[in-house]
Every structure is written in structure tokens, then in C-alpha cells.
Chain A
């Protein structure tokens, strides 16, 4: 909508208020307070704000009080009262002049208060936002052993503040945007000027500008709009509630999208390896970090393949097992009425149900669920002869390894793929697993995140970026360059010589 089409404000306070009252209808939370400004009450004025969004105390002491005590010049309509109030009277930092009804509505609906004067076509939007918000808390889903314990909150400005506190540079740029016709959700595009690749940034702006929907409630809604490929299990947009991860991403040349109303911030372009890199890999020593990454990679394969491999080996390739193991597996399966595949399917589905139930349960009942899960499904199912003990081990192994993957947006596709691979293994043994895995690799290679191939820096292989890969992290002082996968300019992260203790040659 262009400015010409917007309805302008009128000179008359009364007429303005009538229009506004008509627009807000019966909404009791919008408060319109009419008063006489000036020491002797010579200027009729009105302030409009939303109860619950605006800080009533601030309005009283910073706006109403100075206005009522101020010396107001005589002669309404001769002096622009609004600009005088802005310059001399109100004690509010962020004040904007507005001249049309739409921005007036938006101002008081977002928590600002709007000040109108008789005889002035300009109104003031005063930043008096002050609603109840959750304080900055510990991250609830992405925990680390070592590292900052702060997480984002639901408030956009707080979140940007958390980033600013980490990157004290003028090159960190913040662009605001509003999406959602009804929700008018604010979002911010944050990036490092001079590092970010222009193509990526322009692509982010372009894709966001195409969103035209009534409501946006979470960054997940935005994610679905801006991701490249819709028909995939795999996430091509990264999300995190940790400000340190976002700050590190920005410095590497990524673009962050912060959506008001959710602590989950989006980071693009997202590469596959990112979902396997936990922030504490960088905060612990490099060798420990590397070992943990390798462990995580192993966990990824176990989580995806363990039941499928068990099915394939026990039903097609028994020769791969040592005889003694084979005999004990056969003995433990002797009373089980189902084929291995059905047995595995029952157990895996039961576990997925338990997990989902545990997630939704009130905390007090959660414990009961875990007892039911452990006892009923572990002990009783084996004793009843429904499943074999070996299968219980395999299923619990996949359950544990699934939680080793640090970001749940990758854990979900792995869980889903597990079932397809189990089916393939039941039909074709290891050949089926080979076909399934090849298909997954091919699929991953067709994906791109904002133009960047998803499996970078492994495919296409980039030697320099192997320093921060999926199973290895070089010491910080060895990482002289920013990831070449993401940026093609301003690549220098640090310059040698690296710091060494003095006195040593």
C-alpha cells in the first residue's frame, strides 16, 4: 500500500476520534483518554493505547504529566503542536510523527501510544511498549556442557539486544519487516555487512517479500515459506534458540531471521553438517570437540541403520555373524511368533509412541510413562515372548543415538528414514540398505539452501573447510579463514602469527 492511498488524519480531534472509535468497535482493551493539555488546559488532546501492551506507568509519568504541566501556546492550529510536543515536552526516547490512520492503528496495536492534538494533522507515536515478557532463560532444548546459558526470548528487541551484546560492531545490520496481514508480525533480518554474500542476502529479502498470508505465529511458518525444496524430510533452514550460535553464524556470513513471538531464530544458508555441530565443540578443546563430533557421526549412522542392519543380517546374511552369537540370537528368537521385521516395527513404533506421549504429558505423569515404558515394554514384552531381548537392545540403542543428534530438526528425518530402510532391509537385505542409502545421498545432493549445495564442504569438496567438518575441528588458531562454502569475500578470520606464550621460541 502506498502513502497516497492511505487515509490522512483530519484537523479536528473530534472527527479523528470518531473514525478511530468506529474502527476499534467494541474492543475494551484499546483505551482512548481525552484530556486538556497545557497548564491551564487550553489544548484538547487525546492519547490512545492498548491496555496490556503499553506501559501505563510510563504513559502517566512520561507523557500525560509533562503535557498537562506544560506551557502550551495559544492559538490552536497556528503552531504544529505535535512537533512541539515531540521536541520539548514528552519524555520518551523513540517518537515518530504519523499522518495517516493505518500507521496510527498499527502504532497503538503494537504497544505504542498515540498522541493527538486538536487542530493538528500530525499525531505522535510514542514508544511506550511494556508488556509482560519472559525473562532471558536457559535454553530448554539445546543444552551444552560448557558455553553461555542464555537463550532467546519471545521478544524481538530483547533477541536483537542479545545479539548486539555479542557483536559490538557497526557492521551488524538489522532490517525490520512486517509479515502477516492480520498478525502484523515483526521480523528482523540480521547480517554482517561486508561478510555476507550479497546473493544470499538478496534472496532472503526476495523470498520474505513474497510472503502474503494472514497470520505468522512462529519462525517455523516462515521456514516453510522460504525453504527451497518442499518435498524433503531434511531441514534446509537452521533454527536455534542460542544467541551464541546465531552470532557465530552471522560472523561466518550467514543471515539470521528473527521472528517476534518465538525464541527460535532462523539461520540461512543451512548446511547438513551444521546440524551435527554442537556449540560446545567450539568451547571445548579441539581434540575433545573432534572426538565428540566423530561420536555423533557414528550415532547418526546407528540411529538410521541399526534396526535395518539387524533385520538384514538376521534374515539374509547370517554368515556375517560369528556362530556363537548366531546361535544365541536364534535361541532367544525361538519363541517369538513374528518375523524380525514385524518385531522391529512393533518395538520401534512403540518407542515412538512413548516418546511422543512423554513429550505431551504433564511433568508429573511423565515419570509414570517412563516406568510403563521400561517395565512393560522392556521386561514384560520379552517375558511374554512377543519380542526377543536382542531387539530390545537394538531399539534402545537407536533411541539413545537419536538423542545424540544435537538438533531435533535433523533427528526427525533420521527417525523417518529408519523405517523406510527397515522395510528395504526386510525385502532385500543389505542390498536394500545400499539402495536406500544411495537414494538418500542422491537426494541430499539435489538439495540446496539459498543456492549453497547442502552437503558442502564435502560435496563439492572444499579442502580449506575440512578444518571445521563433520568429524573434525581444527584448533581455533588454525582456522584462519571463514568457511569458503558460504562467503567469497572478506575471508580472513585472523592473521598469523598466532599467539604463543612469551619466552618460548
Chain B
């Protein structure tokens, strides 16, 4: 199915890019909407909580080594029930995740960068490179991540460096004026967007080549921790540069942040170059979830090669973003409930599977101990 193997280091880099994903563009706004000027605190707390969640993913994967989520559910729940669960996970979650990436991209491009271009062409172009990436296999995706990663880090560092002079701490004072409640509300959405959507990595983790005695935990925790911290820093500067009101009201606060860059008369309005940063992170979030969908579907339907599915699924992806929601307003409406959706598939599903496995193990153990206790009598049918 997938013959390529990636290294722990590559997994880490992919994790960073995935966590940044579309989140880097939209998260500051939606977190500030709920947590106000304390959004950065809820960000910090979320990173701590999120690392716990990632630890859980790693532990889950360790229990089922070399198995994707589809393998696990088919194994535990049987061909039909497991198949149905995997089907919902793949087409009800991963594919929608990929589609929502495209939707975010399309909305962003048509409102800010290319107002006169039909959104379908923007989708089409992005899908061309996505299909190319997924067809080239996991190794190519991982290596491309390694090439892109330093540029992304460099551009984000530049962005932060340039806006530091314009940040004013009084925007976020007084700290925790409204108490803990808004902070927790902000955490709810941050946790879902940044640390639950990496559930897509269940389709990637089995193909990580691990050195003797090394686990998946370290690269996953490092990658998501780094991504989470970058998000917190971006939120912090959005708040200190614009204050909570503008951050909350704008859909893409970090793009606004890039507009603030000004070095003398010459270097100004370079936000489009900054936009390329999140085009890259968004691209990786999209191709990893798209890859997961294709690979999982091929496993589910027992196909020899997942590449067969890339083109048909890409055609579905071409129209799916527009079916997600009728308008930008609709998208933000969905944004209110989408975290629950994330909870279901990234925490609910693995927990259920884990529970099933525990129950089965227990039953098997009690059965085997019964068998040992009472020796079967001669001639008794077994």
C-alpha cells in the first residue's frame, strides 16, 4: 500500500506544519472572540492540555503499532461495523477537513489576494499540487515538508520581528479581568482546531521508521508543542498590536498583522509574501488529511493502490468546499459547532476503540482462565 517510510524528524516537521495549518490564519480571531484579551493565556493553557492529548494519540498508536485507524477499527469491530466507523471517519471527517482547508483558502484568496479570480480556479490549482503530492507518496510529502519548513519558520520569525515595535502591552491589561470562564471557552476552540485535527496523523504514524527504543511520543510532542507555541505567539502579537476588539472582529487577524510590517518607505505591504507562509502550512494540512482519506479508503475497500482514488476524490473536493457552507457567515456559524465534531472523532473514536479492546482482552483472559480451570471433558464439543 504505502511502501515509503518517514523518519521521526520528518514526522515532527509535518506535525508543526499541520498544527499551524489554516489555524494560524483564523485561530487568533476565533480565540479572541471567546477569550477576549486573555486569549493568549488560554493559548498557553491549551498548549499544555494539547500536549496531553497528543500524548494520548501516541499512546494509542503504541497499542496498535503499524496499524492505521482504519486497520484498528476493522480489527476490533469487525468487517461491517469497523468498516462503517472507518467510513465515517474517512469521508465524514478527514475529507471534510480537507474540504474545509480549501474553503478557508478560497475565502481568503477571493477576499484578500485575488478578488477577481473565480474561486474554482483557485481550488483547481491547489488540487493539482495536492494530487501530485499525494500520488508521489508519503516520503515525498515528508521531504517537501523538510524543504518548506525552514522558510515557514523564517518568514514567521521575520513577521514577529517586524511587528514587535508596534506591540503595546496595555492592550492586554488587565490580565484575567473577566475571570477564568472566557479563558476556558477560548481553550475549547483552540484545543479543537490545533490539537484534535492532527488525528489525521493516525493514517501516517504507522509508516514512521523508528530507531530502536525510540517512540513516536517525542516527535509528536515536540512538533505539536512547537506549532502550538508559534500560534500562541501570533495570538499574543495580534492582541498587543490591535487590541482584542479588532482581533475579534477581523476574520484573518494574522494577515492584518502582516499588513502592519513597515520598514522605512520601501519595505511595506508585503503581506502577500507572508500569506505564502500560511499557504504552505494550509497545503500540508490539506495533503495530509487528503492522503489519509485516500490511503484509508484504499485499505477499507481492499484496493492495491491508493493512487487510484486520488483523482475521483479530488473531483469531490473540487465541489465540497462550496457545499460546506453557503457563505462566510455560514462558515463562522459552523465554526461554533465544528469543535464538537473534532471532539467526536479525535477523542471519542479512539477512546471507544480503546474501550472495546480492553473489554475484549478482559473477556479473552477470563475465558482462557475458565478453560484452564475446568479441563474440557472427553467428547465434549468445544
Contacts and interface: CB of A to CB of B under 8 A. Distances in A.
Interface residues of A, number: 25
A460 B146 contact: yes
A220 to B, nearest CB: 27
A428 B117 contact: yes
Given A434-B276, A442-B132, A461-B9, A322 B114 contact: no
Interface stretch (A42-50, A279-287, A451-459): A451-459
Interface stretch (A98-106, A243-251, A312-320, A335-343): A312-320
Contact of B147 (A319, A435, A459): A459
A319 B279 CA distance: 20
Nearest to B276: A434
Contacts of B128: 435, 439
Contact of B140 (A319, A432, A445): A445
Q: Which of B122, B125, B139 has the most CB of A within 10 A?
A: B125
Interface residues of B, number: 36
Contact of A455 (B133, B147, B265): B147
A429 interface: yes
Nearest to A454: B143
Interface in A418-435: 428-432, 434-435
A375 B283 CA distance: 46
B80 interface: no
Contact of A460 (B10, B109, B125): B10
A392 B345 CA distance: 57
A442 B144 contact: yes
Interface in B109-151: 109, 113-114, 117, 121-122, 125-126, 128-129, 132-133, 136, 139-140, 142-144, 146-148
A320 B272 CA distance: 8
B356 interface: no
B122 A441 contact: no
A455 B143 contact: yes
A322 B147 contact: no
B106 to A, nearest CB: 11
A458 B10 CA distance: 11
Contact of B129 (A316, A438, A459): A438
B270 interface: yes
B146 A431 contact: no
Contacts of B301: none
A438 B272 contact: no
A435 B143 contact: no
A441 B148 CA distance: 9
Contacts of A442: 129, 132-133, 136, 140, 144
Given A435-B128, A439-B132, A428 B144 contact: no
A61 interface: no
Given A319-B269, A445-B136, A459 B122 contact: no
Interface string A1-26: 00000000000000000000000000
B267 to A, nearest CB: 9
Contacts of A221: none
B114 A445 contact: no
Contact of A431 (B7, B142, B279): B279
Contacts of A453: 143
Contacts of B126: 435
Contacts of B132: 439, 442-443
Interface string B249-285: 0000000000000000110111011011001100100
Interface string B4-33: 000101100000000000000000000000
A12 to B, nearest CB: 63
Contacts of B265: 322
Contact of A428 (B125, B129, B269): B125
A460 B147 CA distance: 9
A429 B133 CA distance: 22
Interface in B96-111: 109
29 contacts: A316-B114, A317-B272, A320-B269, A320-B270, A322-B266, A428-B114, A428-B117, A428-B121, A429-B114, A430-B272, A430-B276, A431-B109, A431-B113, A431-B122, A431-B279, A434-B280, A435-B125, A435-B129, A438-B129, A439-B128, A441-B147, A441-B148, A442-B132, A442-B140, A442-B144, A443-B132, A458-B147, A460-B9, A460-B142
Given A428-B121, A428-B125, 7 more contacts: A320-B269, A430-B272, A431-B279, A434-B276, A435-B128, A459-B144, A460-B9
